[in-house]
Structure 1
Amino acid sequence: MNFKFQNHNIHLFAYYLSEEHNSLGYYKQDWLWDKCDEIVAKTIKPEFKFNIKQHLNLEDKSEDPWANLNKYFPKMDDYHPIYVQSHECFIESEQNPTHKIAIPPDENNKVFVPGNETATISPVKIYNTYGLCIQLNNLNIKNAGIFRDEDVKLANPENCLVLDINKENQYFIGQTLLVTINLEKGYFLKCKYNPVKFQKIADNYLESLLPKSFRKPSFNDSGKLFGSLVYQYGIIRDPNSYYHVLICFVLDNQSANKFEEYYNQLLDLFLFRNRIIHAYNKIKQIEQEARNKSQELQIDIKKSQEEQDSENYLDKLQKLLRELPNFSVEYAEKLRNLKEFQYLIVSHTRNYADKINEIKSNFPKDEDFSFLEDFIHRTCISYQDRVNAAVNFFQLDISLIDNAIDSIRGQLAIKQANTERQLQNTITSLGIGIAAAGNLLSIYEATNIIQSIEQNKGGDKDVQSTPTFAISFIIVWIISMLFGLCIWQAASWFFKWRYKKGQRK
């Protein structure tokens, strides 16, 4: 498809957590800057090796809420871009910002060429987050007024404008891709009274910009920004395909100037937006992990209750009692993290609203900013409600775990007491049985001795022989053991009956 543009400029706003947040795993310190170098190499294709870190001041670890990272200017001065063209890097002259000077100073006196393909890079640090804006201007302008599908594709070689395709980097907060399009005047007049045509152009442009194999963000909303029509893509509820893309049709020079004038505010605004969404996604991740743990815990408790009569029931209770405090500590840690992200959502929602009010203060009261404000009313408020529910869920689960610990301790104490009582009864019953058997055997021995004495006194020499006595003793011993066993069983039954009778009372 052919697009009738005067030009199209691409603005990539990307945000990366600084070293202060390196608790999420391996921290790739140069990840964002390497991505910047990659984009410049693939789009501008400079004749030299561009390295953004050479031009940055990253050593200062102060806790200022905002800092310019361009090392050629004071840290707290203002946003100062770095301009990259195919032949050299440039910065603004301090005496005349419209004049660009080469960095480092060039012996061949290379000069900035207006109209050439240019990457304008603004590196900053905002609220302990690195922010990077790469503005790609005048890309692939060959035939004035006509852009082919291939020309748009060349603006995003190898899909380099999507920084974290697999969503693997825990420190990458997110990105916003803003495309500003100036339509050819005659074509603009044809579309002016038919907004559907503008959306169709935006849809086709996005289809051409991103590879066919890439899952493209869905259309979300439309409105106006600085007097320009804007179409928003990316459904937040669908995290697998969510990428924030804005396609704006700049209607006149006044609108174009407004974008340039409030460019820095947009950089801040998109940071707050991405921080809010990033925090919310982290909360959902924590919540899902907690639900999985909770289900595992419920299954373990349910299984233990179903096996009360098993021999290893006591061991399972003891195992649960060892595991539950760890669950409780883990839940408390997750609740703490969740509340930190909750604070981030509340804080950056306020920052987002304040930044919009800052922009609105320079416009007439009837200027429409509902496109930006809808994020607060439609998204942030629902986020806060959902997070409050998640906090309540965690607190309830922690309470349930504590109750489960107390319940299992009680069951364990009762079970141990019953086991000890049964052991005591067994020992008592066994003692009674042994005593009974011993008494029977003793009676037999005593009777046998008395008979022997009486026979000796009467002169009866036919005394029972030793083998006969041994056989009789064995028989009596067996009878004694059987008798003792019966007494033991009877005593055991009696103690159990008495215990159950006491339980019923």
Structure 2
Amino acid sequence: MTSKVYAPNVHLFAFHLKTSEPTTLLWDKCNEIISQKFGVTKQLEIEEESGYRVDLLKDKTTDDVAFHFGSNVTLDNTSLAVTGVATPLRIQDTYGLALNLRRPELEQNQTQRTQAVPSSFLKQLNPAGCLMPEQISSSIGQTLVLTVWYTEEKRWVPWKLLQHRQEIRKLADECLRAFIPPQIPCPHFNQEGELFGSPIFEYGVPSQPEKYCHILVWIFW
């Protein structure tokens, strides 16, 4: 049975050496994903500047250095809104892209909470595996972070008890499998921990670099 989750998110953090060709790889991949997979017509535009750490968005402001966009995806014949944020930057000789795709926590009226969705919704945030390492191909790697809120009726459960930790681990595994296309093997479980009071699970074994796919699943409590 598919679990329900609230406000699922995916965060891509990808890094590419400035000296690696093509130098525009991260921005090209970002525009390809948001245009071809999510139908966004506006493009991420970059403006290089001198400095050690530089926010690269062309139209950035003092208060906002990210590119915002919105779209809709279809799940079980229902159209659901998704929002996205892309933040490009350079730190010395390395380009970085933080790309977030999410089911918002609030409806467009900003007063009503969005409904919980099946964990299978996560595949809508990674159509055709567009966020996987073999698709991004950044020169110095990437990390994917999946976040979901446990639904209200579940969040009273004391998750640190062994029985409930096992249940949450199963939810993390389920979210991971839903996110990754079925033809791609899931990375092996590596370890679990706690971050800001919520359980977090790491997948991907660094000792297997040729197959390394680093994904964190963070279950907000």
Q: Give me the TM-score of the superposition, normalised by structure 1.
A: 0.37
Partner of 2:153, secondary structure, is helix
Whole-angstrom CA distance in 2 between matches of 1:42 and 1:174 = 23
SS of the aligned residue for 2:170 comes to: helix
Matched with 2:15 is 15
Partner of 2:100: 135
C-alpha separation in 1, matches of 2:165 and 2:30: 35
**Structure 1 residues 78 and 127, CA, compared in 2 at 3 Å: closer, same or farther?**
farther
2:75 alignment partner in structure 1: none
Query: Do 1:43 and 1:155's aligned partners in 2 also have CA atoms closer than 8 Å?
Result: no
Q: 1:132 to 1:17 in 2, by over 3 A?
A: same
Are 2:30 and 1:36 equivalent residues in the alignment?
yes
Q: One-letter code of the match for 2:94?
A: T
How many Å apart are 1:163 and its aligned residue?
3.9
Preserved CA contact (<8 Å) 2:119 2:174: no
- Per-residue deviation, 1:215: 2.4
Per the alignment, do residues 198 and 178 of structure 1 end up closer, same or farther by CA in structure 2, a change over 3 Å counting?
A: same
Question: Deviation of residue 209 (structure 1)?
Answer: 0.8
Residues 1:154 and 2:144 aligned together: no
Letter in structure 2 aligned against 1:10: V
User: In the TM superposition, what whole-angstrom CA distance separates every residue of 1:409-433 from its partner, at most 9, and x where no partner exists?
Assistant: xxxxxxxxxxxxxxxxxxxxxxxxx
- Closer, same or farther in 2 for the Cα pair 1:148/1:218, shift >3 Å? closer
Offset from partner CA, 1:186-227 (integer Å, 9 cap, x none):
123347231111111111111111112212211111111122
Match of 2:154 among 187, 193, 197: 187
* Structure 1 contact 35–163 (Cα < 8 Å) conserved: no
Pick the structure with more strand per residue. Answer: 2
Secondary structure at the counterpart of residue 143 of structure 2:
strand
Amino acid at match of 1:180: T
Relative to structure 1, the CA distance from residue 80 to residue 208 in structure 2 (aligned partners, 3 Å threshold; closer, same or farther) is: same
Runs of 4+ in structure 1 displaced over 4 angstroms? none
Q: CA deviation at 1:184?
A: 0.6
Q: Is the 8 A contact 1:121 1:132 kept in 2?
A: yes
Q: Residues of 1 paired with 2:103 and 2:174: CA distance?
A: 20
8 Å contact kept, 1:82–1:120: yes
- 1:10 and 1:137 in contact (8 A); partners too: yes
2:115 aligns to what? 144
Equivalent runs, 1:83-102 vs 2, <5 Å:
83-86=68-71
| SS at structure 2 position matched to 1:84 | strand
Larger relative contact order (CA 8 Å, sep ≥ 6): 2
Q: Which SS does the other structure have where 1:229 is aligned?
A: strand
Q: Distance in 1 between matches of 2:188 and 2:64?
A: 33
Task: State the shift of 1:116 in Å.
Answer: 4.1
Q: How does 1:110-259 map to 2 (within 5 A)?
A: 116-138=81-103, 144-147=115-118, 149=120, 151-165=121-135, 172-190=139-157, 192=159, 193=161, 194-251=164-221
SS of equivalent residue, structure 1 residue 144: coil
Aligned residue type for 2:70: Q
Residues 70 and 146 (structure 1 numbering): CA distance in 2 closer, same or farther, change over 3 Å?
closer
Q: Which stretches in structure 1 are left out of the alignment for 5+ residues?
A: 88-114, 252-505
SS in 2 for 1:164: helix
Whole-Å separation in 1 of the counterparts to 2:5 and 2:36 = 23
* Per-residue deviation, residues 28-58 of structure 1 (Å, max 9, x unmatched): 1322111101221255322x2x321xx3203
Distance in 1 between residues matched to 2:71 and 2:171, nearest whole Å: 30
- Structure 1 residues 73 and 190: CA distance shift in structure 2, 3 A: closer
Q: How does 1:381-392 map to 2 (within 5 A)?
A: none
Q: How does 1:350-499 map to 2 (within 5 A)?
A: none
Instruction: Give the helix-richer structure, 1 or 2.
Output: 1
Q: How much has 1:145 moved relative to structure 2?
A: 2.2
Report % sequence identity: 28
Contact 2:119–2:178, Cα closer than 8 Å, also in 1? no
Superposition deviation, residue 133 in structure 1: 0.5
Q: What's the TM-score once normalised by structure 2's chain length?
A: 0.81
Distance across 2 between alignment mates of 1:146 and 1:36: 26
Secondary structure of the structure 2 residue equivalent to 1:117: strand
Aligned to 1:5: 5
